[in-house]
Structure formats: C-alpha cells, structure tokens
Amino acid sequence: MRRLNPEIIYCSITGYGQTGGQKDFAGHDVNFFSYSGVLDLMGEGDRCPSIPGVQIADLAAGGMNAAIGILLALLYGAKSGRGQFIDISMTDGMASFLPIALHFFQEDGVLPQRGASLLSHKYAC
C-alpha cells in the first residue's frame, strides 16, 4: 500500500505484538491484563486478583493508544507528507499502567503487593 500511497497511515492492533513467541496467540482483554502484570495488583491482598468489569486493555491499551498514534501520525504527515505505520500491542500498552509499581521496584527491588500499593487504599487520604 505504501508504494501506491506514500502518505498512507495504517495501524495494527495485536494482543502481544508483531514478533515474539506469542505473536500468533489468540487473546482477550483479561489475557493482556494478566501478561502485563496489572491484574496481579487488582483487588484485596488476601484474595484472588479482581478482574475488572470493563475491557481496559481493549479500550485503553489498544483503542486509545491507537487513536493517539494515528493523531501523531497525522501531525507528522501534515509536515512531512509521509505516512506512518502504527504498531500497537495491547499487552505492552497495559504495562504502561504500571509506572508507580515499577518506580518502587526500581527503588528498593520489592514488587508492590495486591491491596498494599500506594493506590489501593493502603494510605488514608
């Protein structure tokens, strides 16, 4: 397509990315949520992880990241006259939901525990 139209913008949304051992795996929102590590932080500490009632990986990590990528490609294309390929992995997108957990892990080497993280009501407001 790019040979026919060098200004084309196209986007691919996959569960696990274009390459790697899981690239051909089927998946659902909860799979991407789990593989990213986000699910392990959801819920109360003495219980199993709590699966959210909405499709966060599909909507936020997939759809919103794709929309942002396409908007940025439109800005780039307006200046350069060139298109872009946007490659979205929903699992990678979910990992972007972990900045606070990763900060504390990098600081002291301890992974936050379910129900005891900064944003899970551990501290009173």
Q: Helix, strand, or coil here: 57?
A: helix
Q: Is 121 a catalytic residue?
A: no
Q: Taking the domain 9-108, which CATH number applies?
A: 3.40.50.10540
What is the pLDDT confidence band of residue 121, given thresholds at 50, 70 and 90? low
Provide the phi-psi class of 43: left if phi over 0, else alpha when psi is between -120 and 50, else beta: left
Residue 102 has pLDDT above 70, yes or no: yes
Question: pLDDT value at position 124?
Answer: 66
Q: Identify any residues that bridge with 88 across adjacent strands, giving them in sequence order.
A: 13
pLDDT tens digits, one per residue of 9-43 = 999 999 999 999 999 999 999 999 899 989 988 88
- Given the residues 24, 28, 87, 108, select the one marked as catalytic: 28
- Given the residues 29, 58, 108, 121, select the one marked as catalytic: 58
- The DSSP 8-state label assigned to residue 47 in this structure reads S
pLDDT tens digits, one per residue of 46-73 = 899 988 889 999 999 999 999 999 999 9
- In contact, 8 and 83? CB cutoff 8 Å: yes
Residue 87 has pLDDT above 70, yes or no: yes
Question: pLDDT value at position 125?
Answer: 64
- Measured CA to CA, the distance from residue 111 to residue 109 in angstroms comes to 7
Q: In the chain, where are the structural domains located?
A: 9-108
- Give all strands (DSSP E) within the chain, no chain letters: 9-14, 84-89
How is 5-39 classified by DSSP, letter by letter? -TT-EEEEEESS-SSSTTTT----HHHHHHHHT-G
